Structure formats: structure tokens, C-alpha cells
A and B are shown apart, each in its own frame.
Chain A
Amino acid sequence: MKRPVAFALAFFLLAPLSGVGAEDGLSLSTQVRTKASLYSTIASPSSFSIGSAAGLDFLLEGSRDRTSFRAGARLSLLQGNEAADLWLALGMPGARDDYLLMAPVFDSAVVTPPSALLTLALEELALRSYAGPFSFEAGLSHANWGMGRAFSPADYFTDIDYSSGQPSRRPTLLGKATWYPGPVSSLELVLTPYSKFGQALALRGYTTIFDAVTMAISAGLREAAGSSAGLLLGGVELSIDLFYLAPYGEAVFILDPGKSWNLQYSIMGGAETRIADLTLMGEYLFAPRKTAVHSIYAAAAWKIDEWFSLTLPLLYIPNPEHLSFGASLSASGFGAMEYRAGLSCEKSAGGDWLLGLSLQASLFF
């Protein structure tokens, strides 16, 4: 919790010096969220748990001349199983870094989760600037390297959150300098000083070839616990647009000079296609470690009409073991409201199967 707070203070002290927040452009976007959920064990004897979540998301954006900033935060009040799920997740390394406020404060010694949990999390806090073909960014943000949606080993800096059933990349503290030698080409240098994966510095070149091929090559260094030499990182990303099918993939290696040049590698392959109003996508990650590790994500999305869509996701990750599938019906465009109803079936690390039902509503303004 200390690092984001310190960074936030430094950010707001420095921002006025760069002119951010002036009349050139300042906007506040807000989203109100509510959710109710019910979970039941499938095996007998069955048990039920219920929960709710209410929250407010803020995003403040400002710009003047060649400088801009984004600051986003999420205030949440969780109850029942929603509070319990987050309490469990907070025990993971680095999971509490982005929380500015938490009541009650997480205590790993407390086994029984609280019935209610109030949190304020920092979602984004970044300062950007550009000069000619060069762009710069510092703060809590995303590097967004890699081609994958659910699995992206080529994004050396980012953790992917699967808790909602829809993979999303978590923001991380970074500094980034990018050179755009052409409209769709870039050379990007990223430094992550405080990452759960270790301090890292990497360079990535990205371009499009023949209109249909997008590729990137990256290389970098990452500190490693117990290794004085650090790790060497390298990766290749490729996507091909075959019109009816768009395959893509990533291959990444990690070399440890301090351990006889021990090699680890990961390969991700995926594809996306569209048939009428049905979009299908799938990704597979192969990451051999002590044993072969296979991860799979697949999703079918059917656009029923301009207002309703149905999504059927499936996710399997081995560590910690998680298997889930379900259905989510979304409705949008009713004024500034969005609604979602979800049904999920999930196998927990303990081997229990859980059936979940959730209802969500969001208001944008």
C-alpha cells in the first residue's frame, strides 16, 4: 500500500509543474456499479452463500499542450461472498499494492474473512507527454505488450486478472519511452521499478508488414530473487490476418546466466474468427517448468442484436488450479445503463464445484 500512496503524492506534486489540469481539457468520468451474487456447492450436502458489491469508479483526465494525465480509482463496498473472495485474493503476493484504503485492514492471520469490506483501489495514475515522434509515460499504467488476450508471456511486466471470468491485465508502476518511426511502427523502452515479477527493463519493436502481418520482437533484463546476474528475456510476437481467420502467437524465453544459463520458455497460440454475429476465439499457453503446464481460454460471443449479447467463456489455468465456464448475458444502450446476468460453474483449487449466479448493473455518467 505504501508505494502507490507515495507515488500518488509525488504525482500530484509534479503534475502542476507540467501544466496538467489547466483549462485545455479536464474531464471526470464516473461509473456506479452494483452486483448481487449467489453461490452454491454442487455436491451434496449443498450450501449457499450470497454477496453483494456496490462501487463507484472515477476517472479524471486532463491535458494541456503536449502533456496529459489519467487518474482512476475504484471505491467498493463488498459484503458476503464478494468480501470473502477478495479477502482470499489479498493474501497473494503483490495483491494489496494498489489499495489506498482498506477497512478492515487485511491480516493474513485472520482466517475468517470479514462480512463486509470497504476498499479504495488505485486503477490508473499516469502522466504522459510527447514531443514529435517520441512519447513518454510514467505512473501506474499498462505496457500492453503481447498479442494474447488471456495469456501473454510477452508482456513481461503484467499480471492478468481472471477473477471476473474475463481476463484483464492489471496495471503496474512503469516508466515508458516510445519512438514512432512510422504511423504503425514503434520502438518502446519500458522500466518497471516495483513489479511483483522483479525490476525489469525491456525494449520492444513493433510493426505491420504487408498490411496483414503484425509482429514484434522484444528483449530485456529482469532481476531475479536469489540470482546476482538477473534474467535475460526475449520474445517474438506475430499475428496474421487471413480475413476469415486471425491466428496469432507469442514465443518467449527466459535465460538465467546465474544458473548455468538455465532456459525456460513459453509458447502461446490463439485464433479468432467471426461467423455472422458469432465471434469465436481461443488461446492455448504451453509453459513447461518442472512439469508441462497447459492453460486454455476460449470464448464464444453472440451479438443477439444491438442491445443484447451472450458470451460463453471457458478458462483453465493450472496454478493455482482453476477451471470455470459459464454464460453471461449483457444488455447495453438503455440510456447510460448497462446490465449483466451471469451463470458460472467453477472448480476451485480444493476440487469443489461451485455454481454461481450474478446480476450486475452499471450507470455511466
Chain B
Amino acid sequence: MKIAQRALIVFLATIFSLGLGIATISAQTLSAEEILTRVDANQVYSAIYYEGRMEIVSGARVKVKTMKAWAEGEDKAFIEFTNPEDRGTKMLRLKDELWMYFPSERDTVKISGAMLRQGIMGSDFSYQDAMSSEELSELYTASISGSEILEGRDCHILELRSGASGVHYPRRKLWVDKEHFTILRGELYAKSGTLLKVLRVLGTLSLQGRRFPSVVEYADQLKKNSKTLLTMDSIVINPSIDPGRFSLQAFSR
């Protein structure tokens, strides 16, 4: 989960971060831990800005949300929704705290623990998904379970397990591009072994000589025929962000 945070830090991005580094040595020689470290290391951006479009699909119905997002470091993220129904709704994440702002009543609400398990704005992302900030290599013990060609890309299949308390997905299975060390697919499991969520990268774009995940699909397996598609545009890496952006003050601007 950590992966996403470095690159996108904000909730949606958190999940899908794809490694951006270019492999300079044969990936075949790397251990599982080294691969995971490279996946983490790819997320080297100190800050990011993007404009996004989120399509929440349930059966034949589609709900569309658009947004602007800013993120800095691992702990700071700010999102402003721009679609007509939610225009002006804002989210602020600071470490493990999440705040929301509703413009109609100028109301600021701290999202409580009881509410963190629900999907953000009706999507397949929970608030908890948005708030994970640890690096994968810090949380999980990894092993290589095989290789597979996925969407034409040669991938390692990594099995990740964690016994740490507070980890939302104690087991993960990741398909990591052998050349770019980007995650192309992920399966997130509960401690019981139940598959909870599946993420897929459906599109990338080239940024500063690196390949960046720009279209990501996230599917909550506990919901029937449900998935959320995030498309990121206008991505700016390491932009200059006003420090006040990551405070409650930004809600009142």
C-alpha cells in the first residue's frame, strides 16, 4: 500500500503506485526483498499534483467524480472534487488523520475510525486504503512465487505476508514488471485468506523519462460487479506547493 503513497500519496494513487525506476541490472538476479525495495525506491517524488477522473462502476451503472489532488511526502495529501454534484468537497490527510470539508455548510468533519472502513465518495477505495503510508518492504516479508506474462509484460509474482498488527491486508500477491519494477496487478487478502481487493494498471504515460501509471482499476471483491477506475491527467511531479495546502486553512480558501 505504501507504494502508492510515495508516488501519489493521495488515496487513489496510494493503491496503485507503480515503480518508476529503470532497471539497470538483470532483474532475474534479484531476491524478493530486493525487488520490493526497488518497487518502494521507485517512489522517489517528494510531491505531486494531478487532475483525476474516477469512474465508479456497479453493474451497468457508472458514477463519475472528477478531482484535483496534491500530495507531499508520505503523510500529506489534499483532494478537491470538481464534478458538479460534489464541487468544493475537499479531503485532507495528515498522517493517520483524515478530514473532510463540505462546502454547502462550510462544515469541516474529522473522519472517525468507525467511518474509515467505508468507501470514499462511494468508490471501491476505503478511507483506510487512503491512509496507509508504510513502505511495503517495511511491512511485509516477500517471496518470489513465479513469473508470468501479464499484458505482454514479463512479471515477477511476489507473495507478501505480514504479521504486524494494524496491517489492513496481511497478505498480498503482486505482479511486478521485471524491467520497470512497476506493479501491474495486485491482489489484497484478509488474514483468513479471503480476497478483498484487486488492482490493475490499465494505462501508463511517460513522465520525465519514466513510465507512470495513469489509468488504474481497483475492485472491491466483497461488492458484486463493482470496480473503480481512476484516470490521472495533468500530472506534475515535484511541483511547488503552498505549505498551507496541507492544513485546515486550505478548506477555507
Contacts and interface: CB of A to CB of B under 8 A. Distances in A.
B114 A130 contact: no
Chain A interface main SS type: strand
Interface of B: 56, 58, 61, 63, 84-85, 87-88, 94-97, 99, 105-108, 110, 112-115, 117-119, 122, 226, 244, 246-249, 252-253
Nearest to A245: B114
A85 interface: no
Interface in A200-217: 208, 211-212, 214
Interface string A91-117: 000000000000000000000000000
A243 B110 CA distance: 12
Contacts of A305: 58
Nearest to A246: B112
Nearest to A277: B118
A256 interface: no
A130 B244 contact: yes
Contact of A242 (B56, B113, B117, B118): B113
Contacts of B122: 306, 333
Contacts of B107: 142, 144, 169
A132 B249 CA distance: 10
A184 B248 contact: yes
Nearest to B228: A306
Contact of B58 (A130, A277, A307): A307
A275 to B, nearest CB: 9
A130 B248 CA distance: 13
* Residue of B63, B106, B119 with most partner-chain A CB within 10 A: B106
B128 to A, nearest CB: 11
B248 A186 contact: yes
A68 B85 CA distance: 21
Contacts of A180: 244, 247-249
Interface of A: 27, 29, 61, 63, 68, 128, 130, 132-133, 135, 137, 141-142, 144, 168-169, 178, 180, 182-184, 186, 208, 211-212, 214, 239, 241-246, 272-274, 277, 279, 303, 305-307, 332-334, 336, 338, 364-365
25 contacts: A27-B87, A29-B84, A29-B87, A130-B249, A130-B252, A130-B253, A133-B249, A135-B249, A142-B105, A142-B107, A144-B107, A144-B108, A183-B247, A184-B94, A184-B247, A272-B115, A274-B118, A279-B115, A306-B61, A307-B63, A332-B85, A333-B56, A333-B63, A334-B61, A365-B84
Contacts of A241: 110, 112-114
B163 to A, nearest CB: 21
Contacts of B99: 184
A272 B249 contact: no
B94 A274 contact: no
B252 A274 contact: no
A136 to B, nearest CB: 9
A241 B114 CA distance: 8
Contact of A214 (B95, B110, B113): B110
B63 A306 contact: yes
A305 B252 CA distance: 32
B252 A137 contact: yes
B113 A243 contact: yes
Given A186-B248, A306-B122, 6 more contacts: A61-B88, A142-B106, A241-B110, A241-B114, A306-B226, A332-B63
A305 B57 CA distance: 11
A333 B88 CA distance: 17
A339 to B, nearest CB: 13
A212 B110 CA distance: 10
B84 A272 contact: no
Nearest to A309: B122
Nearest to A57: B104
B249 A336 contact: no
Contacts of B85: 332, 336, 338, 364
B106 A274 contact: no
A231 to B, nearest CB: 25
A307 B61 contact: yes
Contact of A246 (B84, B114, B246): B114
B48 to A, nearest CB: 19
B230 to A, nearest CB: 16
Contacts of A186: 248-249
A178 B247 CA distance: 13
Nearest to A280: B114
Nearest to B246: A183
- Please provide the 3 A-B residue pairs with the shortest distance between their CB atoms, ordered closest to farther: A243-B113, A246-B112, A333-B63
Contacts of A212: 113
Contacts of A333: 56, 61, 63, 122
A128 B106 CA distance: 13
B94 A178 contact: no
Contacts of A244: 113-114
